[in-house]
Chain A
Amino acid sequence: MGKTVELKTTLNKGNVNKRVFWKAFASGMVALATLLSFMGVSGTAYAIPMAGVGNFYVEFDHLEGNGYTFYPKMGESSKEKSTPQGTNLIKDLTIDHLQLYKDFNISGDKWIRVKIVASKPVHISGLQQDASVINADAKFSNLALKEKQSSDWQKQFQQMSSTIELNHAKIKTHYLFQEKVVMNGMKVTVERINKPAN
């Protein structure tokens, strides 16, 4: 049960606006610290929200879950108070090679990436993920896409399936909530990166 925090602070002095950097870095670390404090020693945490840090990316090799529902909503992003998103609900799921990361612009063209990686399968119950973009190879069983007569626009269109399988996924996420998460082999890193494409 090793939780390693590696901070690769190999930035050249004089090229970085320290005030901006520490501000951005601190906000990212607050989010991480929140998550880590929930995790505790066992690697299991309950009622974990990840919000208020703007959009971040979730990537993984393989996800298998059951009880999937998708519906559109308006939610907060790092740039706007209200932006279109899709809510993805999955009752129970297992993720292989999970990575969560958030990129911070510390000054000019200087960027850092705060990343959480799980080397072992992650088990989650009661997942809610609000995302604006999902890229993946997807498989569903008992898939249904349908519209419903309702005055509430969020209930007018839904996608549901009894099982969901996603491979090679990259998800632009704005909000993440898990009722219960078991995340063994977790590692947190901070690294300098070139300006991200997305």
Chain B
Amino acid sequence: MRMRALKGLTCLLVMALLYVPNHAQAAAGGQNDEGFVVSADRVEGGIMLPQVVMGETSSAKSKPMIRFQYRNATLYGMKLTKVLSTDEGPVTVIMQAHGPVHMTNMTADASAFSLKGACLTAGKPIPDPGLKKVTMLIHKMEASKGELDRLTLTTVKGNHGQQRPAAPKVLQDLASLPLLEMKEAVNKLMNGHLPLTCEDQKEDKEKSPKKPASPSDEIKKALPKLSKDPIKKAEKKPDKKQEKPDAEHIVKHVKKPLEDVSDPVKHVKKPLEHVTHPVKQGVKKEITKVPKVIDKTKETAKKEKKKVKKTIQQTKQQLCQKAGILNGSVPKMLGLNFIDEAQKEKIPLTGLCPTNESATKQLKLVQSQLLKNLHLSSTNKDQLADPDLLKKMEKEMESHSSLKLQPDLLKPLDGLFSY
């Protein structure tokens, strides 16, 4: 009796061992077959809107994807391939248009892609991006109208799929998060209009005077904080570093007063940047080479904290006075100083001069004008102190010698302007 039971048990074990690897293999195969690859030599069209969304695949109910949205798009050299794993081996569905493909109101949800011709920013429309050599791993594609000239639709044996593109760093980072945090991070990306591609364009960044953060840096900045405690992030608790400034922090605070001494408004910003960089890296040679301004910085850095704070207060008062007398435009340097002050204090521009009503009104105009120029007019009130947003404002301010302020900006637009 025991022998029979033992034999039965052995049989079951053998069957289980035989079954498990096959099952694993099937699952692994399923992962590789996910999505269908659509390629096009070039895509022309009107405005393209990239968004971050959660979509369904053949193996997962929810996965982060980039949604490409076009009102009208024409694809040249379009080819779609879908590889399916069957009991009799792989089968490929090939859809190829030898003529142009016109799509109206097209959306394509892609978990991976490669393209040339545009850098993508979440939720920021790109007018006629003129994409070239596009390859996307798509999971859903919709269009209110689709015209495919000289279409060939074939179903063949074997794996004839196109090379699958790699997922952008942003989506890889998102995919590594638990579902809830992933959704939070997606919202953060969309609301912050953060960059999604062009990580490898280091050359361009090096050329520019202020190096903007790469997309992966941006998402990294957002993600670890979210993964630790997204709610705390939302509450915007003050940074401990701010409460107890260390030597480096003091140097940062020193920047302002020094510039004020040399030239209260116009020459404040530029010399400061030169100063902080060498101090951070600890290059003493550089300091000795740079003349007066650095000497002043070093001296001031040694001064007591109280004195620094006092000077800052004085600077702030001066800034508020200047803000109060703005008349329809703000000079570049003054605008940059406002933003710089807001960045340091981690407050919105409108919070710089709480006791000065006329200054607050003018700062509100400056803020609204910058947001309008950045197409971020719908930005939530709580996000106006966001470091990324202030950085964008700074960049926008730098592009104007003098920013014109339109007084009608303070009128409510669709109920969105309510600071």
Q: Is the CB of A84 within 8 A of B91?
A: yes
Cβ of A109 under 8 Å from chain B: no
Q: Is the CB of A83 within 8 A of B141?
A: no
* CB < 8 Å neighbour of B84 from A82, A135, A138, A156: A156
Pick out which of these stretches binds chain B: A2-10, A93-101, A141-149: A141-149
Within A136-166, the residues touching B (CB, 8 Å) are: 136-150, 153, 156-157, 161
Chain B 47-88 against A: per-residue CB contact (8 Å), 1 yes, 0 no?
000000000111111000000000000000000101011101
Cβ of B116 under 8 Å from chain A: no
Q: Is the CB of A144 within 8 A of B141?
A: yes
Bound-state CA distance A85–B155 (Å) is: 5
Cβ of A35 under 8 Å from chain B: no
Q: Is the CB of B143 within 8 A of A132?
A: no
Chain B interface residue count, CB cutoff 8 Å, equals 40
Where chain B touches its partner, the secondary structure class is: strand
User: How far apart are B10's CB and chain A's nearest CB, in angstroms?
Assistant: 30
Q: Is the CB of A84 within 8 A of B156?
A: yes
* CB < 8 Å neighbour of B58 from A134, A136, A142, A156: A156
User: How far apart are A127's CB and chain B's nearest CB, in angstroms?
Assistant: 16
**Chain B residues near A137 (CB, 8 Å)?**
99, 147-151
User: How far apart are A57's CB and chain B's nearest CB, in angstroms?
Assistant: 14
Cβ of A74 under 8 Å from chain B: yes
Cβ of B364 under 8 Å from chain A: no
Bound-state CA distance A87–B148 (Å) is: 19
Within B21-37, the residues touching A (CB, 8 Å) are: 33-36
* CB < 8 Å neighbour of B152 from A135, A140, A156: A135
Q: Is the CB of A157 within 8 A of B145?
A: no
Q: Is the CB of B88 within 8 A of A74?
A: yes
Given known A-B contacts A156-B84, A157-B93, A147 and B34 have beta carbons under 8 A apart: yes
Cβ of A72 under 8 Å from chain B: yes
Q: Is the CB of A147 within 8 A of B148?
A: no
Cβ of B266 under 8 Å from chain A: no
Cβ of A28 under 8 Å from chain B: no
User: How far apart are A175's CB and chain B's nearest CB, in angstroms?
Assistant: 13
Given known A-B contacts A74-B88, A149-B56, A153-B84, A143 and B146 have beta carbons under 8 A apart: yes
Closest to A163 in B: B145
Chain B 135-173 against A: per-residue CB contact (8 Å), 1 yes, 0 no?
000111111111111111111110000000000000000
**Chain B residues near A135 (CB, 8 Å)?**
150-152
Closest to B91 in A: A84
Given known A-B contacts A74-B91, A142-B144, A156-B84, A148 and B154 have beta carbons under 8 A apart: no
Bound-state CA distance A141–B153 (Å) is: 18
Bound-state CA distance A82–B88 (Å) is: 9
**Chain A residues near B147 (CB, 8 Å)?**
137-140
Q: Is the CB of A83 within 8 A of B34?
A: no
Q: How large is the interface on A (under 10, 10 to 19, 20 to 34, 35 or more residues)?
A: 20 to 34
User: How far apart are A39's CB and chain B's nearest CB, in angstroms?
Assistant: 29
Bound-state CA distance A148–B149 (Å) is: 27
Bound-state CA distance A19–B90 (Å) is: 40
Cβ of A86 under 8 Å from chain B: yes
Q: Is the CB of B84 within 8 A of A161?
A: no
**Chain B residues near A143 (CB, 8 Å)?**
141-146
Given known A-B contacts A139-B145, A141-B144, A143-B146, A133 and B154 have beta carbons under 8 A apart: yes
Closest to B158 in A: A84
User: How far apart are A11's CB and chain B's nearest CB, in angstroms?
Assistant: 35
Q: Is the CB of B146 within 8 A of A84?
A: no
User: How far apart are A65's CB and chain B's nearest CB, in angstroms?
Assistant: 15
Closest to B149 in A: A137
User: How far apart are A131's CB and chain B's nearest CB, in angstroms?
Assistant: 8
User: How far apart are B80's CB and chain A's nearest CB, in angstroms?
Assistant: 7
**Chain A residues near B92 (CB, 8 Å)?**
84
Q: Is the CB of B152 within 8 A of A145?
A: no
Residues in chain B within 8 A of chain A (CB atoms): 33-36, 56-61, 80, 82, 84-86, 88, 91-93, 99, 138-157
Pull 22 A–B residue pairs with CB atoms less than 8 Å apart, ordered by A.
Answer: A74-B86, A74-B91, A134-B151, A134-B154, A135-B150, A138-B146, A139-B145, A139-B148, A141-B144, A142-B142, A143-B143, A143-B144, A144-B142, A145-B140, A147-B35, A147-B56, A148-B56, A148-B58, A149-B56, A153-B91, A156-B33, A157-B84
Top 10 A-B residue pairs of the complex, sorted by shortest distance between their CB atoms: A143-B146, A134-B153, A146-B140, A84-B155, A84-B91, A156-B58, A86-B155, A140-B146, A145-B141, A138-B151
A134-B151, A134-B154 given; name 14 further pairs at CB < 8 Å: A84-B91, A84-B156, A86-B155, A139-B146, A140-B145, A140-B148, A141-B144, A144-B141, A145-B80, A145-B138, A146-B140, A148-B56, A148-B58, A153-B86
Residues in chain A within 8 A of chain B (CB atoms): 70, 72, 74, 82-86, 132-150, 153, 156-157, 161
